[in-house]
Amino acid sequence: MRYTRLMRTAAIGAACALVGTGAGIAGSSAATKSKSSSSRSAAANDRPGPPGGPFRLGGGPPVHSEAVVPSKARDGFITVTTDAGVVRSVSGDQLTITEGTKTLTYKDTTLTIASDATVRRNGDEAALSDLQAGDHVMVSQSSESTHVDAFDSQHRPGPPHGPRQGA
């Protein structure tokens, strides 16, 4: 239960990446009239997908994603932005994180966290000020809500979600 929301958010990001990839492939196939391209494309479809599921298409779980999803009321759509990485600092409502993998940094970003955000650290309710430099964090923000899930290195579930402090 601790990271169910984390996995759901990551799954939404992966689904968006898959839809975008599929649309790009379909678009490029539709524009090609060459016979050799068609046979090459058919041979590529016979091969099984990469091991490890949809995140392996890009080499691992997303560190930044944006998805358009139905609103809670199901009367429209909202944009959900997800950022994952390692906490650099917390100052008031500002959370600065380093997005990336254990060995590769994507970027440092500062997020403004809403005062009514749901914040959890190591699975327990927390305040934004409870987060510490080096915590692994995933932040999901939309016009409807903000969720911050953080884990210290001893409680972090699953594969790494960002660079280690000092990496």
64-112 pLDDT, tens digit per residue, is 999 999 999 999 999 999 999 999 999 999 999 999 888 889 999 999 9
Buried b (16+ CB within 10 A) or exposed e, 22-48: eeeeeeeeeeeeeeeeeeeeeeeeeee
29-38, 70-79, 84-93, 152-161: least confidently modelled range: 29-38
141 membership: H or E segment, kind and range? strand 136-141
Euclidean distance between the first and final Cα of the chain, in Å?
29
Phi, psi for residue 110 in degrees, rounded to 5 = -110, 125
Q: Report yes or no: 25 and 19 within 8 Å, Cβ to Cβ.
A: no
Q: What is the mean pLDDT of the chain?
A: 76
